[in-house]
């Protein structure tokens, strides 16, 4: 009987030890959710490895927290549900901080800012943001349900607004001189400008900016405080400098003349 009791005690301790080791191992891993299809921030290389600015940012955060990082490739629309159901621990996915999203998750302080710029027809002779909104009757185009039209509707001087099904159709209006301006993301503006350099220019002054934050569960207040501490010291700890050295040339390829600073500066 004593041998059986001793065996059961040893077995119980073994099971408890295995469980504790498993729990400790899980706690030492930071599961980071992002959708790997948005270079240069979140994407995969030729070997299928997660790479990009957000991936490197996650790795730097892991060092700060003393945790190993595991990237979980997750469709953008499923990131918040994945966080809520504990499939991931944190969202680092170029996610804009919005009131609607903040109802479900907590956001860190911003660490990047994504801007909208303006593609204009050269013959319209619009040189800056001030002229864009002060000149009367400018013709703005944009896709349906896109801020390209809601912004001039609110800020421009008696604008003429025309809605299209997609970006390409809107751009052709600008190229052909049937429209004056198209407010769009910088990468798209740069791509269109490179295709139509003789017909278009870009006004780089940001029309608006979306602050980008890291997302955590509402209950993870301790992690949120650590994130904000990490973000507050991104410059002092050399993280921005590391990212700039690695990605400035890549950013310049898609946004000529621009560097990581374009995403750090806020208006």
31 vs 48: CA distance, rounded Å: 18
Q: Domain 29-111+213-264 belongs to what topology?
A: D-Maltodextrin-Binding Protein; domain 2 (3.40.190)
Q: How confident is the model at residue 105 (pLDDT cuts 50, 70, 90)?
A: very high
Lowest mean pLDDT among 42-46, 74-78, 128-132, 146-150: 146-150
Lowest mean pLDDT among 18-32, 137-151, 233-247: 18-32
Bigger pLDDT: 9 vs 102: 102
Could you tell me which residues are beta bridge partners of residue 90? 32
Please give the sequence-ordered ranges of beta strands (E in DSSP) within 122-197, or none if there are none. Answer: 139-143, 160-164, 181-184
Give ∠ CA 180-151-186 in degrees, rounded to 5: 70
Lowest mean pLDDT among 118-127, 130-139, 144-153, 212-221: 144-153
Q: What is the pLDDT of residues 36-46, one digit of tens each?
A: 999 999 999 99
54 vs 60: CA distance, rounded Å: 10
**Residue 249's CB: how many other CB atoms inside 10 A?**
9
pLDDT value for 11: 47
Domain regions of the chain by residue span: 29-111+213-264, 115-209
Q: How confident is the model at residue 144 (pLDDT cuts 50, 70, 90)?
A: confident
Please give the average per-residue pLDDT across 155-181, as a whole number.
96
pLDDT value for 20: 43
Q: How confident is the model at residue 77 (pLDDT cuts 50, 70, 90)?
A: very high
Bigger pLDDT: 3 vs 71: 71
Bigger pLDDT: 144 vs 100: 100
Q: How confident is the model at residue 75 (pLDDT cuts 50, 70, 90)?
A: very high
87 vs 84: CA distance, rounded Å: 8
pLDDT value for 1: 52
Contact yes or no for 199/140 (Cβ under 8 A): no
Contact yes or no for 180/125 (Cβ under 8 A): no
- Would you state the CATH architecture of domain 115-209? 3-Layer(aba) Sandwich (3.40)
21 vs 18: CA distance, rounded Å: 5
Residue 100 has pLDDT above 80, yes or no: yes
If you search the block for the tokens 């800020």, which residue do you land on?
155
152 vs 126: CA distance, rounded Å: 14
Q: How confident is the model at residue 146 (pLDDT cuts 50, 70, 90)?
A: confident
């Amino acid at each position: 009987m004593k041998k059986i009791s001793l065996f059961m005690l040893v077995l119980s301790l073994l099971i408890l030890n295995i469980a504790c080791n498993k729990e400790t191992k899980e706690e030492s891993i930071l599961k980071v959710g992002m959708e790997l299809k948005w270079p240069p921030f979140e994407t995969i290389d030729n070997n299928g490895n997660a790479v990009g600015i957000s991936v490197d940012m996650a790795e730097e955060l892991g060092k700060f927290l003393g945790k190993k990082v595991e990237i979980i490739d997750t469709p953008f629309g499923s990131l918040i549900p994945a966080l809520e159901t504990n499939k991931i621990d944190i969202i680092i996915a170029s996610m804009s901080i919005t009131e609607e999203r903040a109802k479900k998750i907590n956001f860190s302080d911003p660490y990047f800012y994504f801007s909208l710029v303006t593609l204009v027809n050269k013959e319209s002779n619009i040189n800056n943001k001030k002229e864009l909104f002060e000149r009367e009757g400018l013709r703005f185009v944009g896709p349906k349900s896109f801020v390209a039209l809601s912004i001039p509707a609110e800020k421009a001087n008696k604008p003429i607004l025309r809605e299209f099904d997609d970006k390409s159709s809107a751009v052709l209006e600008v190229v052909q001189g049937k429209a004056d301006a198209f407010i769009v993301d910088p990468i798209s503006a740069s791509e269109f400008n490179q295709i139509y350099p003789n017909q278009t220019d870009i006004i780089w002054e940001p029309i608006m900016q979306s602050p980008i934050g890291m997302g955590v569960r509402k209950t993870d207040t301790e992690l949120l405080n650590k994130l904000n501490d990490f973000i507050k010291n991104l410059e002092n700890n050399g993280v921005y400098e590391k990212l700039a050295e690695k990605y400035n040339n890549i950013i310049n390829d898609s946004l000529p003349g621009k560097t990581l600073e374009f995403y750090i500066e806020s208006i």
